[in-house]
Structure 1
C-alpha cells in the first residue's frame, strides 16, 4: 500500500464515520463573551500605549523648549585678556 492509498483510506474512514462530534450548546455564547473581553482589553491597552507615547512626546517637547539642546552652551570661563 502506497502513501497516497493510506491517505485516501484514512480520509474515507473519516468521511464514513459520520458527522462531526456534538458541540456544547453554550459554546458560541462563551466564545463571543471571551472574544469581546479580549477585544476590550486590547483596545484599552492600545489606547494606553498611545496616551503614554503622547505624554512622552509632550514631555520631550517641553524639555527641548526649556533646555534648548541645539544651542551652544555658554562658556563657564572668560577668555584670557591679552591686549589691555
Structure 2
C-alpha cells in the first residue's frame, strides 16, 4: 500500500459517521472509577495497617526474647583456689 492509497483509506474512514456513544456511558465510567479508587485506598490502608501490626509484633517479640543478647552459659567455670 503506497502513500496515496493510504491517504484515500484514511479519508474514507474519517468521512464515515462516527458510532453513537451510549447515554449512560460517562456516568457508568465515573461510578466504576470511583469504586476502583475506593478499593485501592482500602487496600492501601489495609497494607499499612498490616505493616504497622508486623512492626509492633516484632518489637514486642524482640523486647521479650532479646535475640541480640548472649545466652547464659550452660556450664560453670572450674573453681580453683579453694
TM-score computed with the length of structure 1 as normaliser: 0.83
> Gaps (5+ residues) in structure 2?
none
| Structure 1: 5+ residue stretches without partners | none
Q: CA deviation at 1:35?
A: 0.9
What are the residue-to-residue correspondences of 1:59-78 with 2, within 5 Å?
Answer: 59-78=57-76
The aligned residue for residue 58 of structure 1 is: 56
- Under a length normalisation based on structure 2, what TM-score does the superposition of the two structures give? 0.85
Number of aligned residue pairs: give it: 81
Q: Which of 9, 22, 25 in structure 2 is aligned with 1:24?
A: 22
Structure 1 residue ranges (4+ consecutive) displaced by more than 3 angstroms after TM superposition: none
Root-mean-square deviation over aligned CA pairs: 1.6
CA–CA distance in 2 between the matches of 1:58 and 1:66?
A: 12
| 2:67 aligned with 1:83 | no
C-alpha offsets along residues 26-69 of structure 1, whole Å, 9 cap, x if unaligned?
11111111111111111101100000000000110111111111
